[in-house]
Each structure stands twice: as structure tokens, then as C-alpha cells.
Amino acid sequence: MRGYRVGSIGAIRAAIEPLQAAWPFDVVQHGYVIRFVVRGGASVVTIPAADLDARGEGRRAGVQITTSREMDSQLPRRVTVQHLDYDREHNAGTQYAERLNTAAINALVLDLPIVLTATEAAGKAEVLLYLYWLERYDVAVTLPPTYNQLEPGDVVTLVTPEGNVSLRLTAIHYTSDGRIACQAKYASAAIYTPTAVGASPAVSGTTTITPVGASVYVLMDVPMVSSAQSGPSFLVAMTVRWRVARRRADAVDRCRQHLGESAGLRATGLGAGNLHQQHRGGGAPGDRQRQRAQCDADARRTIQRDAAGDARRSEPLCVRGDGRWEIIAAQIARW
């Protein structure tokens, strides 16, 4: 397991259930010890037909195996697994498995706070889908006291006239006369080996933010604002002044569109709020003068408006001290 997120304080059972959905296992009391039995194991005992329908002396023979079945309309047609994608820097990922040869229309969505790859999540969706359909049968048998060693979670094999049947015991009840009443589900070890393959993301790996322009770095001397600062730590604020370069480039592009010849344009003096162009090419002198005047007016208004806005707001980028740049928070500041 690459990672597991516990988002809130709760019962231990609530923290175990997502793991049980991802890797099916049974929780069994074995004496004074709690055991976690992984499903898909081999059979521990083979029970002949003569040992089924254990009954008291002098009683009539009864039903050896009792089976009840859930309606197909109550079972899911599609199982969707939402997870933390390992290949996408733990962003939310979704994979599903669908059974097409059924009239069921139900869809089940499982939110697993576990770090998985796309293929692993698709495999778990496939396992859970067919596990729900396999376990739609409830089986009950009664065994003699010679099988007292059996525990819930064990896999047993029943010998029947129709063939051998593999069962996973879910509950065991001991009667007053020593018989063992067992409840079980059908079992198949092959169902826990998925064949589904998930699509990997087109973009993977660490994403680097490349600033365009100068940056400002400030160590903040402020009181503790989070419990994460209980140890040795410091807060850092950082802003990248990239808007000015981008807006100047936008102003130049506008002038090129007005003049119609991008190859013959050169812009200088943007930092002072003035835009001067040198145009090389054909056209009437009067047209070129009007075009240059229009470019000057547009660029001057853009730079003056943006400069006034920058004086009233700032968008800080914060960095964490683990070698990765991350955008922690952004807030408009007014003064």
C-alpha cells in the first residue's frame, strides 16, 4: 500500500472498512486474538455428503444444503472506485467495471482514500463487481461435532452429487446438542485475480512552475497560525511578478495586429509607460502614423490600468520546505 488517508477521527472499524473493500479479507476472533484472513485461500477441509444434514438420533433426514438467492435487480450493474491516483500526484482518480449481460441497472460508487494506480483501481472495481454477483447466494449446512476446528473465513469443499462446491464460511453457531450450524457464501479463488487494465495519464511526473520575471521572497515573522508550526518551522511568502511581462507582450501583439507586419515591429521603452515602434514596410505615411498613434494609446492605457491594479492587490505563492513548490493559498490584500 503506497498511502492511506484518514480524514477524520472515528471508529477503528470505519478506518478498516475501506481497506477491506480494496483487499477483501475477513476479521475473525481466534481465541483472544483478532485475525485478518485474506480471501482467496485454499480449502482447509473436504466434507463428504454423508456428514451433511447432521441431526439428532431418531430424527428424520432433512435438507443437506439450503440455498437462498438475492434478486438480480438488487445487484450492481456497475461498480466505480474513486481513489487517489499515484501517477497524478495523488489527485482524484476514477475507474469502473460493468457487467453487460444483465438487466440490473444499479450503480455502486466506492470512495477509497487509498493511493492506487489506474490499473490497480480498475482491478479492484472488477473484483468487487464479480464478488457481489458470486456472493448473491446464501448457503446453510449443518455439520457434526467432528468439524469443531472450523472458523469463520475458512474455505471448505462440499462433495455433492452435482460435483464439488467451494464455500467460504461467514458464521458458525454451536447448538446445544453439539452440532455446528454454518452459514456460507460461494467461493472462487480465481475471482480475486483481476485482468482489468486502467489507462495511464498522458502527463506524469513532477510539475515545475517556471516563473516569467523577477520574484520576491519574504520570511514572515508572525504568531503561530497552525498546529503544524508546533515544531521548528517558519512561514514564507513568495510572489512572482509575471503580469508585467505578459501584459507588455500583449500590447506588442496588439500593435503587430494593427500594423499587419509582425516581422518588422520592434517595441522599446515599455517600463516608462511609453510605447515606441519602428515600422519597416510599405504603406502610406499617413496610415502608418495613424496606426502607430492607435498602438501608443492602447498600450499606454493598458499599462497604466494594470499598474494601478497591481498597487492594490497581490497574489502570493507559498512554498513548503520539502523540496516541492506548491500553491498553498492566495488572498487579495488591500491597503
Say how many Å lie between the first and final Cα of the chain, rounded: 49
Residue-level pLDDT at 323: 47
Residue-level pLDDT at 177: 85
Residue-level pLDDT at 141: 92
Q: Are strands 91-98 and 76-85 parallel, antiparallel or unpaired?
A: antiparallel
Counting Cβ atoms within 10 Å, is residue 60 exposed (0-12), middle (13-18) or buried (19+)?
A: exposed
Measured CA to CA, the distance from residue 139 to residue 184 in angstroms comes to 5
Residue-level pLDDT at 220: 75
Alpha-carbon torsion, ordered 81, 114, 15, 99, to 10 deg: 20
Measured CA to CA, the distance from residue 329 to residue 292 in angstroms comes to 42
Q: How far is CA 150 from CA 25, 45, 178, in A?
A: 17, 9, 14
* pTM for this prediction: 0.58
Measured CA to CA, the distance from residue 118 to residue 200 in angstroms comes to 6
Count how many Cα atoms sit within 13 Å of the Cα of residue 304 in the half-sphere of its side chain: 9
Ordered per-residue pLDDT tens for the chain, 335 residues: 888 888 788 888 888 888 988 899 988 888 889 899 899 889 999 999 888 888 877 777 778 889 999 998 899 999 999 999 888 888 888 999 999 888 888 999 999 999 999 999 999 999 999 999 999 999 999 999 999 999 999 999 999 888 899 999 999 999 888 889 999 999 999 999 988 888 776 665 555 666 566 677 778 777 777 777 777 777 777 776 555 445 555 655 655 565 554 333 333 333 333 333 333 444 455 666 666 666 666 655 665 565 555 544 444 444 444 444 444 444 444 44
